[in-house]
Every structure is written in structure tokens, then in C-alpha cells.
Structure 1
Amino acid sequence: MERRMTPVQDFRPRHFVLAAGGTGGHMVPAAALATELTKRGHRVALVSDARGVRFPGLFEGVQTHVIPAGRFAGGPLGWAKAARLMMQGRAMAAELYRTFKPAAVIGFGGYPAYPALSAAFAAGIRTAVHEQNAVLGRVNRLVAGKVDAIATSYAETERLRPRHSGKAHHVGNPVRESVLALRAKPYPLLDEDSIFRVLVTGGSQGASVLSQVVPEGLAMLPVAFRRRLQVTHQARIEDIDAARETYARLEIAADLATYLPDLPEQLGWAHVVIARAGASTIAELTAAGRPAILVPLPSATDDHQTANAREITRAGGARTIAQSAFTPSELAKQMQKLGLDPEALQNAAARARACGTPEAASDLADLVESLDSPASRLPIGRVQQRKAFA
């Protein structure tokens, strides 16, 4: 079900707190929302863990706060420690709210979001959560009954209970402006003689399996195709030397790094991306319109990466290979199907682009502003109310 409303004209500058766990999947959309809210004249503060506040370039100029948050693991002793840390984090968040006086607190998942939201519930502050994955995460499931709104990235979101459908809104997953800008640029020119650029990325954590399989798989391509390759590969620090030696031995042109600060630029040049299926990766692929070979992380909670890859794969913008089937020969087969037909590649790029949600940051900001609007307690602008999936 879709509901469109006339935007409520409420231009009051307000304070908002964003709470996110310290991985790229949580931090990137939070940063995109922070940028949009700041543009609208609001003041934003970030609550995260020590990892989150160290992400380079994401929250420049934003007030940041580190709070403790434990993972409920390790048996009774681990649970007791986690509960103690959560209570400390909640107290620190409550003190922040006393001085910062936020109009609303928005959680992006991850354990640091829970004490921040819990303190907001106790203080009577309006709340929302944003779910980046196609499966509602643990913290978001835990607070779903108490928050005022649930923003989803996918039209079909698993583990979202039917009784919460009235406050669930499909807005998409916000990406950085530098990635969104790629949407206005054409797919890189490609003919049978031009350089074929491949981007390999395992997300902010890297992925050992990509370093082990990709070089050997690309080496199995026909010689004429292989000589055209230019690979940019983000690898884990413990894998990078071995991967570099393999590319050199196989005479495949490759640049390797443990971190790609110019990832949007690399994505803009890429003809094919080989990657995990994390939420931010999928959002960036669909924003830019780049075909991909996706290898979901099998240990991801609730197998959410396989769910993330479903929409773009069904649309024809990507090919998904389970890690258990991700062998050099399978990769070579899929690369030939994509890479030897420039028209098919362009078609896949267009299909990936069609899955994008370029207005995600704006729609999410509309929803967040509406939480504290005296004119309406309902979502505004282009926000869509969606059907819930159990």
C-alpha cells in the first residue's frame, strides 16, 4: 500500500540524535541522513561505539558521543556484563538528551543503538529506526513495538511482524552523495577491445574468500579477455600480500588495498563489481547502476545478505553465487556470460539502476521531521507505507 501526503510546512530548526553500531552498514546511511538534516538547518549528534566514530570522512562537523554497549553472548557472565554496559550507555544517553534536547532519536541498528533508544523511551522522546537489510535486525526487532516509525530499505522485509505494519515505511537505504552522483553518469563505454574494469570489495570488513577465489577465477578467462582486465581489489590486511602475489603470477593487472577511500570513483569506472551482499554495497550498486556478482556472507545473522541480494538478482542486475558454490570455475563462467556481451552488461546495469532508491535520504529525513511536527503525526512527502511481511 502506498500513501502520499502533502508535505507539512514546518521549518523549525531542531536537534536530532542518530544512534548506530560501528559498522559501515549502519554508519553510511546514518551519515547520509545527518547530511540531509544538516542541509535543512537542523543540528545532529551521533551516538555510536569506538569503531563508529573512527570512520573517516563520514561525520565531519557532527557532534559525536561514544557509549558502551555489550553483545549478549558468552553465557551468564557475558550477559551480565552486557547488561551492565547497556545500563551505563543508557545513563550516558539520558544525560546527552538532558542537555541536547533532541526532537527525536533515530536508531540504525547495532548494539549501541539499543541504550540510546531505551533512554529515549524513558524520556518520552519520539523515536524511529531504519533497517538497512532485507531482514529486520535483532536490535530493531527488540524495539519495534515501542518506536514511533520503522523505515525499511526493501519493499519486502522479513521478520517484521504484522502488528507493526501501520508504522513501517519503505524509504530505501541512503547512500553518500558522492555515490548518488554516479546515477547521473552513463555506464562506462565498453567495446571488445577496451579495458575491462573489475572492482572487488568485501565491504568495510573485507572478505578472505574473494581474495582466494577471484584471482584464480579471472585467470581461467580466455586469454584475450584476461589481458583486457584492470582489477581494483579491496582485501583484508592478512590476505593482501598473498592476493597480490597471485595476481602477479597470473599476469593480471591489479591494484590492491585494504581500504579504498576513493570507492565512489572506483565504482564509477567499474564495468562489473564482485562483492559481498551487505546492505550498503547493494544500495551503492543500485544507486550507481552497476552489474555485480554477489557472494553473500553465509554467517550473516538470519542469512540477511542472501535476502539483500534477492531483489537486484531477480531484476537481472546481479548474479548471486552461494559461498559454497563460489569456485574459480564458477566465477569464470559467470564473468564470461557478463563480460563477453557488452549489450548484456549495459542491460544488467540498467536493471540494477532500476532497483535504486535515489530519494532515500530525503524520504527518511521527511519521516524523521514528521515525528515532531505539530501539524501531523503521520509521515510526509514521498514516504510510502508498506505491507509488512512476517
Structure 2
Amino acid sequence: MTKTRTYVLAAGGTGGHMVPAAALAAELTARGHRVALISDDRGVRFPGLFEDVETHVLPAGRLGGGPLGWFKAASKMMAGRAMAKKLYRDLSPSCVIGFGGYPALPALLAAFSRRVPTIVHEQNAVLGRVNRLVAGRVNAIATSYGEVERLKSGWQAKTHLTGNPVREDVLALRDRPYPMLEEDGIFRVLVTGGSQGASVLSKVVPDGLALLPPHFRRRMQVTHQARIEDIDAVRAKYLAHEIPAQIATYLPDLPEHLAWAHIVIARAGASTIAELTAAGRPAILVPLPSATDDHQTVNAREITNAGGARTIAQPSFTAAELAKQIQKLGLETVGLQNAAERAKSCGRPHAARDLADLVESIGTPAAGNRPASPQTEAETASKEFAA
């Protein structure tokens, strides 16, 4: 039996970082370990994920904005690092695991200075900015895709494909059959733009669904997550097209909506792709064009190449194109079931288990009681914040 240890998870406050961190926290806790979370104000208040986990907020600036912006960011990072070092003296963590986002950086810098083993987990198919900053110094890199762009060849030896952990209630959908689409049954569509919604989906999707063949449009039922400022316009569009639709800014029961959805229309964020492939649901994906390094387009490649999704670049995302791609994906039972199976083939259902195994193999007891020399700490700071 593995001896109980303490692990610190450090993540930015968006769903893409917090969801896999929460899944790992649940797995490590189930194994009898103590888990603490370091994040920003958004992360520690993220609904439904970390109610029973010890949480800490550290200052962390965003790198950018010219010399003055870099100076302010560095000042916040170093303050956050100092707080994390003090925290580690009390927690004595066996390992610090970073999930990306700027709030993870001071936690990792503190771990380097105290010689605590470190791991970063990359959710996207492009190595993120913070993970690139620290990748050369961590003990291991966990990835969600077999191919990850901007991952240097020199880091391959310490890179491990684990997949992107998802919530247990989403993972449970893997054992449920794809919902049968009866000849005259309800055709259920789920539209979600992630935790912040997506205005472009609200503008295009109702009109695109209205262009589908009449026998589908008449029996369609839509659940649409939208921004609060878009709700009235979206509702008016669905009413005009006589398409029944449930519209909400937040779907706390998203896994249940995913369970009965015949098709999903969504952005291509890391958690969205992980959930689609875990559950096995066909999708129309519209990558966010402003995503750093266009990582959502890269995220969508694997499931699209497998035949489980169709990807439409946002500049080409029109009502007519949406209707065309939905019909190419398949509007008959066999076509949709095939797409669902192909989506499921891209899933990595044991991601939380495999990531926890990696964490336990890297972490060591009482690792937090080995402070680095002052010279090493100064070198760490200068390397991470060099212009």
C-alpha cells in the first residue's frame, strides 16, 4: 500500500485547467493522500469541483504588456513564489503538479527553489505558455495527446501520455449506449461554448439548424448554453424557426445533457474534447480563433481525422456551412452511431488513474524539506523572467 503523501495541484482559474486538476484531486484523495490546491480567485470558487479540498490563493501576474508589464508580472510572481515557499514548509509536499495558467507559475517556481519534485500536465495539443517556461526543469510532462506541438525533442524522455482527466459523471457515460435515434423520435442537439459561452454559436446555430431537412427540424430538441447578453436574441431565433430549445447561461447538469445528445455543437477546448471522446458523442467543432497558438484547431484534429467530428473554422462558420457539415457527419442512425464510436475511439478513459500513477512514481516523502541554495534560487528567478 502506498504511504500517504501530500500533493499540491497548481492551476489557472479556467475550466480547462480546473477540471482535470479536480479529477486528479479526486483520484489521489481516493488513494488516501492529502491534496491542496493553489489557484487564483476564480479557481478556488469554481463551482462543484473543490468543495472538500484545501485551497490557497497566490498572486500571479500575466506576462506581457512591454517592459512595465513584465516588471509588474515578475513582482507578483515573486511574491507568489515567496508565499508558496512558506506554504511548502508547512505542507512538505511530495510533488507539485502544474496544470497551466499563470497562477501555476509561482507554485512551480517555489517547488524548484525547494527542490520539490514537479510535474506539468498539458491539456491541449499545443504546449501552453507557462508549461513551456518550466518544461525544461520539471521532472515529468504529462500530455493529453500523442502528438503535442511546441514540445521539444529533448523533453521526450520525460514525457508521458496520460490523457486529459474528466469528471466521474462524464466518464460514466462511456458505459452507456449511444442514444438510439428512432425514425420519428426526438433529435437532440447540445450547443455549448464552454464555461464562458460563445456568441458566434448563438448567432449561427439557430439559423443553421433551421436549414436541416424538415423531418429533422420538426422533431428537434435543443439545449443551448449562451452568454447572458445573447439569451433574448437566441430565444427569439429559435421561436421564429419553431425549434423547441432550452437556453441557459450555465448547465450544472451538463453530463446528463451530454448523455442524451445525438450531436454536440461546441468550441474545441481541451475539456470539451476530452468529454466528447470519453462519452463518445459526434460533434461539430468551431475552434476559438483567438486561442493562444491556435491550440483549439490543433485539439480538434484527432477526433476530426478519426471521423468523430467535423471542424469548421470560425470565418467559414455560416448557417449553410453548419447545416452541410451536420448532414455530412450523418443524420441517419447508422451514420451518427459510427461517428459516436469514432469519437469514443479517441478517448483515454483511464487518464486520472494514469496521471495519479505518474504522480506517485515521481513524488517522494518529505521532499519539501530540502531548500535550494540562495544561488540556485537567484538563478531560477533570472532564468524564468529573462526578457
CA deviations over 1:319-371 (Å, ceiling 9, x no partner): 00111111000111122233522101000000000110000000000000001
8 Å CA contact retained: 2:94, 2:364:
no
Deviation at 1:294, TM superposition (A): 0.3
Q: Does residue 372 in structure 1 map to residue 345 in structure 2?
A: no
What does residue 11 of structure 2 align with?
20
Q: How many positions carry a matched residue from both structures?
A: 365
Secondary structure at the aligned position of 2:155 is classed as helix
Measured in 2, the distance between the counterparts of 1:113 and 1:177 equals: 24
Mean Cα deviation higher: 258-267 or 333-342: 333-342
Deviation at 1:78, TM superposition (A): 1.7
Measured in 1, the distance between the counterparts of 2:116 and 2:274 equals: 30
Secondary structure at the aligned position of 2:85 is classed as helix
CA deviations over 1:20-54 (Å, ceiling 9, x no partner): 00000000000000000000000000000011111
Q: Does residue 280 in structure 1 map to residue 271 in structure 2?
A: yes
Q: Does residue 107 in structure 1 map to residue 87 in structure 2?
A: no
Measured in 1, the distance between the counterparts of 2:61 and 2:219 equals: 48
Measured in 2, the distance between the counterparts of 1:231 and 1:134 equals: 30
Measured in 2, the distance between the counterparts of 1:73 and 1:241 equals: 37
Give 1:8-87 correspondences, 5 Å limit.
11-87=2-78
What does residue 286 of structure 2 align with?
295
Deviation at 1:148, TM superposition (A): 0.1
Measured in 2, the distance between the counterparts of 1:144 and 1:20 equals: 15
CA deviations over 1:139-160 (Å, ceiling 9, x no partner): 0000001000000000001100
Give 1:177-326 correspondences, 5 Å limit.
177-326=168-317
Give 1:84-95 correspondences, 5 Å limit.
84-95=75-86
What does residue 156 of structure 2 align with?
165
Task: Supply the AA of the counterpart residue of 1:172.
Answer: G
What does residue 385 of structure 2 align with?
none
Measured in 1, the distance between the counterparts of 2:157 and 2:326 equals: 43
Deviation at 1:92, TM superposition (A): 1.2
Percentage of matched positions with identical amino acids: 75
CA RMSD, 1 decimal: 1.0
Secondary structure at the aligned position of 2:361 is classed as helix
How high is the TM-score relative to the length of structure 1? 0.92
Measured in 1, the distance between the counterparts of 2:136 and 2:266 equals: 34
Among 131, 139, 156, the alignment partner of 1:148 is: 139
8 Å CA contact retained: 2:180, 2:333:
no
Task: Supply the AA of the counterpart residue of 2:315.
Answer: S
What does residue 379 of structure 1 align with?
none
Measured in 1, the distance between the counterparts of 2:120 and 2:29 equals: 19
Deviation at 1:66, TM superposition (A): 0.8
8 Å CA contact retained: 2:287, 2:296:
yes
Gaps of 5+ in 1: 1-9, 375-390
Deviation at 1:373, TM superposition (A): 5.1
Secondary structure at the aligned position of 2:80 is classed as helix
Deviation at 1:238, TM superposition (A): 1.4
Measured in 2, the distance between the counterparts of 1:194 and 1:145 equals: 54
Mean Cα deviation higher: 66-75 or 300-309: 66-75
Measured in 1, the distance between the counterparts of 2:196 and 2:73 equals: 24
Task: Supply the AA of the counterpart residue of 1:360.
Answer: A
Give 1:96-135 correspondences, 5 Å limit.
96-135=87-126
Deviation at 1:191, TM superposition (A): 1.9
Deviation at 1:298, TM superposition (A): 0.7
Task: Supply the AA of the counterpart residue of 2:205.
Answer: V
Mean Cα deviation higher: 234-243 or 108-117: 234-243
Among 318, 322, 328, the alignment partner of 1:327 is: 318
8 Å CA contact retained: 2:309, 2:329:
no
Task: Supply the AA of the counterpart residue of 1:333.
Answer: K
8 Å CA contact retained: 2:36, 2:53:
yes
Gaps of 5+ in 2: 366-387
Task: Supply the AA of the counterpart residue of 1:334.
Answer: Q
How high is the TM-score relative to the length of structure 2? 0.93
Measured in 1, the distance between the counterparts of 2:204 and 2:269 equals: 19
Deviation at 1:262, TM superposition (A): 0.2
8 Å CA contact retained: 2:77, 2:106:
yes
Task: Supply the AA of the counterpart residue of 1:146.
Answer: R
Measured in 1, the distance between the counterparts of 2:301 and 2:49 equals: 28
8 Å CA contact retained: 2:310, 2:329:
no
